[in-house]
């Protein structure tokens, strides 16, 4: 609307909004709109003027897109926005049984303070789990985290200074983009909707000397893309030549619905430059807030020092429970269950989209993970669609949210793992209705 009003490009308008947001003059709620921030009348107020006391950008949060995404949707609205496991599949019965059976004989020292690097038996179990995936690590290579989001933050603290460059796939995970930007980094975007251009990456490396390349090679968020094995090898060769640090974020590789994905970058790393992030959020449940980072001990030590300032160590009870879950062989059958269920959902969603939306939406069927990445074929933007969709009580994330510099406005991400097949079918019917409404006007 702003773009139309002043006859400027959409990108200019979006950048203007972001600037206003950074200055604290407006705030944005995804799917709802942008609002003028309430100004504080200091003279007539005896209250503490909190916003004026806040540290300056880049420490200020840019926007709360992520928090909006995970917030509870309005009653009756089906949210395809948050990238989540289905609560109905959380293995809470197993956790309850593990807790009840073991709490009586637990070592009480496990519930006091533990080393910042994490609960040692869990670090050991994670190293064993990674070895099975071809990643050879031992306990000293593992740092347990309060979610992999914390790993991104710690890496930004340890590696990035204002003005540093980082390369990210475009589009990419919002949470990573915001953390790097909050550290003052400049983001160079490497398009990833088709083949990844390693020539462009090399050009970035030579011209800008980026501190790191952040990649989600397997079932990428938001595109669902899988980096083919040969591209992984070429990327490692290039990174090795330039000693480029790669942060491999891998929350989705266990969620494959056809064949297994290629080996992780970390598994084929021959120069010690790949830092690996994993999490139990997508395969068990996000409220565990248990993730991990695998890297060289020198990095683990430095990250642990930084983590100590934040929380001393992650929650022991969650770490103790996850350790038993892994050591008692509960993960493999659980993964078989969720893969079987999510595959049915992926197929149901693909069929419904093909039947009801194919005239208006272009999409590829993801081989794993949680998302359909779609593109509008006709007139209209994903923001317009979101607006109509809200009236039909359905939500999703418009593609612009996943770019630092949005170049186009027709993409959208639909999460298919959080609802059963019947709800997914209903959601696609509502989406189809919304599509008809925006193409009609």
**Interface ranges with ligand PMP (CB under 6 A):** 83, 147-149, 173, 175, 216, 221, 249, 251, 279, 281, 286, 291
Tokens standing for 290? 């248990």
Name the residue with tokens 């204002």: 162
Nearest approach in angstroms of CB 307 to ligand PMP is 14
Q: Are 210 and 167 in contact (CB under 8 A)?
A: yes
Residue 190, SS3? strand
Compare residues 322 and 438 and give the one whose CB is closer to ligand PMP: 322
Nearest approach in angstroms of CB 429 to ligand PMP is 26
Nearest approach in angstroms of CB 61 to ligand PMP is 16
Compare residues 204 and 252 and give the one whose CB is closer to ligand PMP: 252
Tell me the DSSP string of 197-240: -HHHHHHHHHHH--SEEEE--SS-TTT-----HHHHHHHHHHHH
355: Cβ–Cβ under 8 A, 6 or more apart, which residues?
Answer: none
Whole-number Cα distances in Å, 241 to 102, 160, 244, 401: 50, 21, 8, 33
Q: Are 430 and 396 in contact (CB under 8 A)?
A: no
Nearest approach in angstroms of CB 251 to ligand PMP is 5
Compare residues 218 and 434 and give the one whose CB is closer to ligand PMP: 218
Compare residues 83 and 210 and give the one whose CB is closer to ligand PMP: 83
Nearest approach in angstroms of CB 249 to ligand PMP is 5
What is residue 76's DSSP assignment?
T
Compare residues 147 and 406 and give the one whose CB is closer to ligand PMP: 147
Question: What's phi and psi for 211, nearest 5 deg?
Answer: -70, -30
Nearest approach in angstroms of CB 271 to ligand PMP is 24
Compare residues 338 and 352 and give the one whose CB is closer to ligand PMP: 338
Compare residues 286 and 366 and give the one whose CB is closer to ligand PMP: 286
Nearest approach in angstroms of CB 73 to ligand PMP is 17
Whole-number Cα distances in Å, 351 to 80, 121, 364: 16, 44, 12
Count of C-beta atoms within a 10 Å radius of residue 102 = 13
Nearest approach in angstroms of CB 436 to ligand PMP is 31
Question: What's phi and psi for 371, nearest 5 deg?
Answer: -130, 145
Nearest approach in angstroms of CB 218 to ligand PMP is 10
Nearest approach in angstroms of CB 234 to ligand PMP is 22
Q: Are 127 and 292 in contact (CB under 8 A)?
A: no
Please give the Cα distance from 55 to 427 (Å, whole number).
42
Question: Which residue number is nearest to ligand PMP in terms of Cβ?
Answer: 147
Compare residues 257 and 276 and give the one whose CB is closer to ligand PMP: 276
Nearest approach in angstroms of CB 124 to ligand PMP is 20
Cα 167–chain centre separation: 16
Compare residues 352 and 397 and give the one whose CB is closer to ligand PMP: 397
283: Cβ–Cβ under 8 A, 6 or more apart, which residues?
Answer: 85, 254, 255, 331, 334, 335, 338
Tell me the DSSP string of 9-44: -HHHHHHHHHHHHHTTSEEEETTTEEEEPPPP-TTT
Please give the Cα distance from 223 to 226 (Å, whole number).
9
Compare residues 79 and 149 and give the one whose CB is closer to ligand PMP: 149
Compare residues 26 and 247 and give the one whose CB is closer to ligand PMP: 247
Q: Are 388 and 434 in contact (CB under 8 A)?
A: yes
Please give the Cα distance from 150 to 123 (Å, whole number).
16
């Amino acid at each position: 609307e702003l773009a139309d009003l002043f006859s400027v490009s959409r990108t200019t308008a979006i950048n203007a909004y972001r600037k206003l947001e950074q200055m604290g003059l407006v705030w944005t709620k995804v799917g709802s709109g942008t609002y003028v921030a309430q100004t504080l009348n200091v003279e007539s107020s005896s209250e503490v003027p909190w916003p004026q006391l806040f540290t300056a950008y880049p420490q200020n949060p840019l926007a709360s897109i992520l928090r909006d995404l995970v917030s509870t949707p309005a009653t009756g609205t089906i949210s395809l926005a948050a990238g989540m496991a289905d609560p109905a599949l959380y293995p809470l019965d197993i956790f309850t049984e593990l807790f009840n059976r073991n709490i009586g004989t637990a070592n009480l020292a496990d519930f006091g303070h533990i080393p910042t690097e994490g609960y040692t038996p869990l670090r050991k179990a994670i190293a064993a789990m990674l070895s099975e995936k071809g990643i050879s690590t031992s306990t000293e290579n593992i740092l347990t985290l309060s979610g992999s989001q914390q790993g991104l933050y710690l890496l930004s603290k340890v590696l990035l200074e204002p003005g540093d460059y980082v390369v990210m796939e475009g589009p990419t995970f919002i949470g990573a983009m915001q953390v790097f930007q909050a550290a003052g980094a400049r983001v160079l975007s490497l398009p990833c909707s088709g083949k990844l251009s390693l020539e462009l990456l090399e050009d970035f490396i030579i011209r800008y000397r980026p501190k790191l390349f952040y990649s989600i090679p397997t079932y990428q968020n938001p595109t669902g893309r899988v980096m083919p094995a040969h591209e992984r090898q070429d990327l490692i060769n290039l990174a090795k030549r330039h000693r480029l640090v790669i942060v491999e974020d891998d929350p989705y590789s266990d969620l494959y619905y056809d064949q297994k994905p290629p080996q992780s970058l970390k598994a084929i790393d021959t120069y010690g430059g790949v830092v690996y992030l994993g999490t139990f959020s997508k395969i068990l449940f996000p409220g565990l807030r248990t993730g991990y980072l695998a890297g060289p001990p020198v990095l683990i030590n430095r990250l642990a020092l930084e983590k100590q300032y934040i929380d001393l160590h992650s929650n022991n009870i969650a770490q103790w429970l996850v350790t038993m879950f892994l050591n008692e062989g509960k993960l493999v059958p659980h993964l078989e269950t969720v893969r079987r269920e999510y595959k049915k959902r992926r197929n149901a969603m693909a069929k419904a989209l093909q039947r009801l939306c194919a005239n208006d939406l272009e999409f590829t069927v993801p081989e794993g993970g949680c998302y359909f990445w779609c593109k509008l074929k006709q007139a209209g933007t994903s923001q317009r669609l979101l607006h109509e969709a809200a009236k039909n009580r359905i939500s999703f994330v418009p593609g612009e949210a996943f770019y630092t510099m949005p170049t186009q406005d027709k993409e959208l991400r639909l999460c298919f793992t959080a609802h059963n097949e019947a709800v997914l079918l209903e959601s696609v019917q509502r989406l189809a209705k919304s599509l008809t409404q925006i193409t009609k006007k």
